[in-house]
Amino acid sequence: MAYDTALADRIRDLLVDEKNVTEKKMFGGLAFLVKGNMAVAASGQGGLLVRVDPEQSDALVAKGPAKPMVMRGRAMAGWLRVDADAVEGRALKTWVSRGASYAGSLPAKKTVAKRR
């Protein structure tokens, strides 16, 4: 399954005023990075991936539509999956802001020159 380009456009629109945002195709989706740190992505599996403070993961899952992101059978603290139907309206802004804020609080990643 390819990522939802309309969702990616909505995310892009919400991040238009955010500094240091780049886009990168990752994991079959389109990730939005702040200072080189992944903040949010239109997932190749549908819906949204959001990076949050790992200490808040359980609380966010308990009170809302988010689920832990599972990779290789293991839940990843600080990474949440939100189904597409849960971000149809204004909820997307909340999740994008949460992801951008957390990613922006992390040290900037150093860019690595591509080898030719």
Per-residue pLDDT of the chain (116 residues; tens, 9 = 90+): 689 999 999 999 999 999 999 999 987 899 999 999 999 999 999 999 999 999 999 999 999 899 998 878 888 889 999 999 999 888 999 999 999 999 999 999 876 444 44
Predicted local distance difference test score (pLDDT) of residue 11:
97
Predicted local distance difference test score (pLDDT) of residue 1:
63
Cβ pair 95, 7 in contact under 8 A: no
User: Which tokens sit at 35?
Assistant: 């200072």
For the entire predicted model, the pTM comes to 0.89
Predicted local distance difference test score (pLDDT) of residue 110:
77
CATH entry, 5-105, from 2.40.70.10, 3.90.1150.30, 1.10.3720.10, 3.60.21.10 = 3.90.1150.30
Predicted local distance difference test score (pLDDT) of residue 14:
97
Q: What is the signed CA dihedral for 68, 70, 76, 82, rounded to 10 degrees? A: -30
Closest CA to 98 of 44, 35, 56: 56
